[in-house]
Amino acid sequence: MSPRTVEQYEQIRSEKRTIIMNAAIEVFAEKSFQGASVSMIAQKAGISKGLLYNYFKSKEELLKEIIKNAADTIYQYFDPNHDGILTAEEFFFFIRKNFQVVKENVNYWKLYSALVLQPSVLKLIDHDFDEVSANYIKLVYDLFERSGIEDVEGELLLLTSMVKGAIIQYVAMPDFFPIDKIESKILEYYRNKLSV
């Protein structure tokens, strides 16, 4: 058997990190972030506690990586040409992708929602999340302003409430909540608002 290449080691390491993060999100959702221990996460991941520490220094670092990974999954579809200007079509694309990503992995986003709504988690990630989302909010703000929306801040709050609220209701009741209809209604509302 030939020795592994650097790329193979990196792939194995990446896969192991994903296994640990998936185990952690389940444990955090079930036991709460405060109630979960590194031992519980390691057991769920099928590895030793010592090996887990080779991938993540602490429970807090693991939590922040889960949050970053979720944000990356969603925000990869934001401003796809990376020109720093959000067009209406890019905005609609981003909304559609938000819903698509959630529909494709309902169980993960259900666990994620249960995790990020915990007060102790909100306190830990508040500052980091603000920094991550500030740039995205600015681009949406600029789009709304260019479109002549008068109360831009109010409109941003409405947008966030509609999208996040719909996703939370959907992951709580995926068989009953009409996610496709809500997505269409949100898109229709903003097509009228943005005059396209």
**Are 74 and 28 members of one domain?**
no
Burial 90-115 (b: 16+ CB within 10 A, else e): bbbebbebbbebbbeebebbbbbbbb
pTM: 0.84
Same domain, 94 and 167: yes
CA-derived radius of gyration, the chain = 19
Residue 36's domain comprises 1-56
> Which of 27, 56, 85 delimits the end of a domain?
56
CATH number of the domain encompassing residue 159: 1.10.357
Identity of the highest mean pLDDT range in 2-6, 57-61, 126-130, 133-137: 57-61
Q: Give the torsion through C-alpha atoms of 134, 139, 142, 144, to 10 deg.
A: -100
**Same domain for 133 and 65:** yes
159 and 77 belong to one structural domain: yes
Model confidence at 131: pLDDT above 80: no
> Could you report the per-residue pLDDT of 60-107, keeping only the tens digit for each?
999 989 988 888 898 899 998 989 999 999 999 999 999 999 999 998
